[in-house]
Structure 1
C-alpha cells in the first residue's frame, strides 16, 4: 500500500471526513534533504472534519499525528497540514 493510501485510510478511519485532499509533493523535493528516493517522503494534507473544529491548531495537529500513528509519521519526512 502506498503511503498516500495509508494516510487516507488512517484519516478516514479516525475522523468523520467532510473533505480530504492528499498531495504527494515528493517530486518537488527530489535531491533535497529528506528525500529518501521512494517518491513518498513529502505530503500536504487538507482535512475537514467536525471533530477538529473545536480544537486549537496544536490539538488538531496532534490528533492527526495520533490517527496516522508513530510509524507512518516517522516514515514521512515532511507533512504539511491544513486542518479544520
Structure 2
C-alpha cells in the first residue's frame, strides 16, 4: 500500500472528514522519481470544531506519527471546520522548494 493511501486511510478513520485531500508533492522537491516524502493534507472535519489550530495540527501529527517517523519528510497541514471551509476562497498554496 502506498504511503499516500496509508495517510488517507488513517485520516479518514481518525477524523471522519467531510472533505479530504492528500496530495503527494514529492515531485516538487529534490527526491528520486516516485518518492513519497512530501505531502499536503487538506482536511475538513467536525472534530476540529472548537479547537485551536495548534491542537488540530497536533491531532493530525499524532495520527500520522508512524509515517512522519518513517520516511515522510514534510507534511503541509490545512485543517478546517465545515463553517471555515464554506467561507474559504482558496487553500494556501505550498511554496516552491528552495533546496
TM range (shorter): 0.7 to 0.9
What's the TM-score once normalised by structure 1's chain length?
A: 0.85
- Structure 1 gap segments, 5+ residues each: none
Q: Find the structure with the greater CA-based Rg.
A: 2
Q: Deviations over 1:34-69 (max 9, x none)?
A: x3x35100000000000012111100000111122x
What's the TM-score once normalised by structure 2's chain length?
A: 0.73
Higher relative contact order (CA 8 A, sep 6+): 1
Kindly tell me the number of residue pairs found equivalent between the two proteins. 78
2:59 — aligned with what? 63
- Structure 2 gap segments, 5+ residues each: 81-99
Structure 1 segments of 4 or more deviating over 3 A? none
1:13 — aligned with what? 13
Query: The residue matched to 2:43 in structure 1 has which SS?
Result: strand
